[in-house]
Chains A and B, each alone.
Chain A
Amino acid sequence: MMRIKSRLNISMLMLVPIIALLVVVIVIPGIWAIILSFTQYTPGNVPIFNDIQNYIQIIRDRFFKNALANNLIFVVVVVALEFIIGLGSALLLNRKFPLQKLWVSLLIAPYCISEVVACVMWRYMLDPSYGFVNYALSFLGLGPIAWFGTVTSSFIGIIIVTVWKNFPFIMIIAYSALTAMPQEVIEASKIDGANRIQTFRFVVFQLIKPALLVGLTFRIIFALREFGIIWILTEGGPAGGTEILPIYLYRQTFRYYEFGRGAATTTIMLIVTILISIPLVRRIYKGMYEKIY
């Protein structure tokens, strides 16, 4: 009994720093944000409880609806493209080329640089008059496109940069899953007479599917909260055309000083995120103790 107790004490003691950090910086402010979402609050004043008024107001707000719709389109398009490019690159890399390490490095690079730097580089590439992309498009008989001048071109612009920056995440997950896959299974399916497409569809894809689902879930919840790339490139414009929830939230909070409404928006984002990530949390938790990833 003594022994168990002392072991518990040691383990709890070791968990103090991390739990304290998480509680002080994330949990308490998070709960405070949820509480603020039921108040009218501008810094400097005392928050006044106003029931669910903030929620009613934002749900009626056409800018909120606009941001929600944009956010949905943004997440679906971005994650779908990242999935296609990421999985495609992983399958390609899995063929093992000479100088493999170099190719992997070059392909991961976008994931490791700052979103601000990514925006600088792509703004340079996407200049409407002198940019490389419009120059390249001219060979295909397309363009010139007035990048960031119209809603459509702005939306495509932020999608390109987001996909470019994050496709390596899906790629690496798929690539690691492919590398970890037992080769015998593929040999067996070949012996059974499966052609290449059948082998991929019924064997390889099935084996890497759980890993891909983790990658996709992560990317969905992260694309949902994308702020930097959009704020730097378009600030949500033109005319709210690229405004998604985090941008809406920023405006409500720091432009109109409606902290209560901002808090309500962030609470909605939090709930959506948690609902989406339940299966992911369960899987990672199980993996932590049962060694089945």
Chain B
Amino acid sequence: MITHKRRNLLIEKILPGILLAIVVMWAFFPIVNAIIGSLKMPLHIWDFPPRFFGPFYSLTNYQELVKDWPQYFGNLVNSLIVTSGTALVVILCSIFGAYAFSRFSHRLVRMSTLFTIIIRMIPPIIVVIPLFPIFNTFGLVDKHITLIMLYAAFMVSITTLLMKTFVDDVPVALEEAALIDGCSRFQAFLKITIPLSAPGIVAAVIFTAIFAWNEYLFAFIFTSRRAATAPLILSEFMGSFMGVEWGMLLAAAVIHLIPMLILTWMVQSYLIKGMSFGAVKQ
């Protein structure tokens, strides 16, 4: 009897705990390891065997980053500009689009929905080939606005579809009540629908932010200096022939990833909803 109970305890509590520890290690150890590495004195970054405890912690790498590589903060600002710009364009387009998808069921609207879903599947690399020569001719290479429009176009389909599910949850009766009270349709949309679908806007912004802040392909092809985003510069720094200064590189990478870590913590439920969109009905 007692051994049976023990076995149950083992299977029900201890084993899952161990498995969880393993999975969490797999997912999060590389991040912890990079953070720890960035906080070590440069000489100790490549200690072998690797050590995690000792008197070698300092902010040297971050100080050197500020001193020797201040341009990187300009690249972070570029990332911020591009991310905010993209979020703005995406929200403006998808708020109206989501409302139309949700409230009208005309054949043309339905066709637009289908079109938007299909667009979501298209590989971004397809537009690179025709756009590269055109952007070069019209001087659109290495401009923030170029990245913003590209990112917005490739995000707006998913955010609109996602936001539609939030607008669906806003009762039509509330809008009709506003109409009876003398609001125009547009006022009802502005004063009732938008505030009530705010969670959808949040979810869309989060998704756009994760994409735009992290994106590499378009940044790699369409920017080089003035509008270069942080991921592009990180990749160039890692691949530079001069030998990599890992302390600074790790510090720069950690600075780039911290906002995303905070995001995953703060807005977890939205993130889950967005990630499982189309697969699971919420």
Contact = CB atoms under 8 A, between A and B. Distances in A.
Interface in B121-142: 121-133, 136
Interface residues of B, number: 105
Contacts of B130: 29-30, 32-33, 36, 263
Interface string B110-123: 10111111110111
Contacts of A21: 89, 93, 149, 152-153, 156
A142 interface: no
Interface residues of A, number: 108
Interface stretch (A59-67, A72-80, A120-128, A150-158): A120-128
Given A120-B249, A284-B278, A293-B281, A249 B125 contact: yes
B187 interface: no
B33 A132 contact: yes
Nearest to B133: A43
Which of B24, B92, B126, B210 is most buried by chain A, counting CB atoms within 10 A of its CB? B126
Contacts of A44: 133
Given A14-B97, A25-B149, A33-B127, A107 B24 contact: yes
Contacts of B132: 43, 253-254
B54 interface: no
A89 B27 CA distance: 10
Interface string B71-115: 000000000000000000100111011011101111011101111
B28 A109 contact: yes
B203 to A, nearest CB: 13
B150 A281 contact: no
B185 interface: yes
Nearest to B258: A113
Interface stretch (B62-70, B157-165, B175-183, B194-202): B157-165
Given A11-B104, A43-B133, A288-B113, A108 B126 contact: no
A277 B120 CA distance: 10
Interface in A162-182: 164, 167-169, 172-173, 175-177, 180
Interface of A: 7-8, 10-12, 14-15, 17-19, 21-22, 24-27, 29-30, 32-33, 36, 43-44, 85, 88-89, 92-93, 95, 97, 101, 103-125, 127, 129-130, 132, 135, 164, 167-169, 172-173, 175-177, 180, 210-212, 214-215, 218, 221, 224-225, 227-228, 231-232, 246, 249-250, 253-254, 259, 262-263, 266-267, 269-270, 273-274, 277, 280-281, 283-285, 287-289, 291-293
18 contacts: A11-B100, A18-B116, A18-B157, A30-B122, A33-B130, A113-B31, A113-B256, A175-B272, A214-B279, A225-B125, A227-B216, A266-B123, A269-B125, A273-B122, A280-B121, A281-B114, A284-B161, A288-B101
Given A114-B256, A227-B125, 7 more contacts: A14-B99, A15-B97, A29-B126, A112-B260, A118-B30, A164-B30, A284-B117
